[in-house]
Amino acid sequence: MSQSSFMLNSKIAEVIKNINKVIVGKEDAVILSMVALLAKGHVLLEDVPGVGKTMLVRTLAKSMNCEFRRIQFTPDLLPSDVTGVSIYNPKTTEFEFRPGPILGNIVLADEINRTSPKTQSSLLEGMEEANITVDGRTVPLKHPFFVMATQNPIEYEGTYPLPEAQLDRFLLKLKMGYPSYQEEMEMLARTSGTHPIDSLDPVMTLEELAQAQESVRGVYVDRTIEQYIVSLTSATREHPDVYLGVSPRGSMALMKAAKAYAYIYDRDYIVPDDVQYVARFVLPHRLIMTSEANFEGKTAEEVIEELIERTNVPVQRNVSE
């Protein structure tokens, strides 16, 4: 990470330290999850089973005293299983709304690519609009609202891959990866008795989280940083290996993520390092590569790395100018 010279925001540091009591050796994934949460975005976690995706979301929710809900997506899951349904009550002769699991603060959408596009869209509507539509009426979601969706990159049989327009709704796309030998040994030691999540206490309230999200909005973005962000994203549209580049929504997402990352490191302004770091997780899933690039094995991640290397970085301006 490029921010070693900066100290973490004290309250965010407490949350990260609390999460690290359960999650071993995944500090980047923890910090980036906090980036998405503070920026009011959502995360797509793509990795093999058993590397701690679900545990990360549970620990995040418990550390901030948030209501945690889990949706296990299956081919037969209906949109009403996600949003909730109105049930007739014969005693009152009225329909009563029974809320679905989407009405939580932190929602784990497990194996989102295993359900039909119709059911996927019921979740994605809530992610984009912060409300859902049930039986023709609009139901606002809780605040804060954060979705972490997972999908298995290995098994594609019987799945419904998210189209690019829906992938664009996720602020970040992350991978956990396997732990090192020492990290896995530490996991065994921690879980040999009682699981550490059972004794985990909250270190941040919902009110403090909401206040932090508002503070992120106030992080200063210099004009030169805005130009740098647009230079990066517009370069993806002209790259010969890219069929479809990053949209303006991607530019806004990059700025939001960089602001949250700066806030985590206790700054009220963005530096180019913030943009470069988060760009590696904000931009690749928004690209569609050409068939030639796919045939040659070139990835979107490689394109973003290349553009970061060759795009001119803004230098500090003289205050007197």
Element (H, E) at 300: helix 300-310
Q: Which amino acid belongs to residue 234?
A: S
CA distances from 162 to 64, 65, 115, 136, 150 (A): 30, 31, 10, 26, 11
Band (pLDDT 50/70/90 cuts) for residue 156 is low
Whole-model pTM over 0.85: yes
Residue with the larger pLDDT of the pair 3 and 253? 253
Residues 6+ apart with CB under 8 A from 133: 83, 125, 139
The pLDDT of residue 318 is above 80 = no
- On whether the CB atoms of residues 204 and 64 are closer than 8 A, the answer is yes
What is the pLDDT, as a whole number, of residue 52? 84
SS (H, E, C) 18-41: HHCCCCCCCHHHHHHHHHHHHCCC
Cis status, amide bond into 314, omega within 30 of 0: no
Indicate the pLDDT class of residue 319, thresholds 50, 70 and 90.
very low
Give 171-209 pLDDT, tens digit per residue: 999 988 888 999 999 989 988 888 889 889 999 999 999
Output the average pLDDT for the chain.
Answer: 89
Where are the chain's structural domains?
A: 10-189, 217-310
- For residue 90, the tally of other CB atoms under 10 A from its CB is 6
Residue 162, pLDDT score: 85
In DSSP notation, 161-215 reads: PPPHHHHTT-SEEE---PPPHHHHHHHHHHHSSS-GGGG----S-HHHHHHHHHH
134-152 pLDDT per residue, tens: 877 888 899 899 999 998 8
Q: Residue 12 corresponds to which tokens in the numbers above?
A: 């965010």
Q: Tokens 């956990």 belong to which residue?
A: 176
Strand partners, 88: 95
The per-residue pLDDT for 1 is 43
Q: Which CATH architecture fits 217-310?
A: Orthogonal Bundle (1.10)
Task: For residues 125 and 169, give the distance between their C-alpha atoms in angstroms, rounded to a whole number.
Answer: 10
Is 10-189 in CATH node 3.40.50.300? yes
- pLDDT at site 72: 93
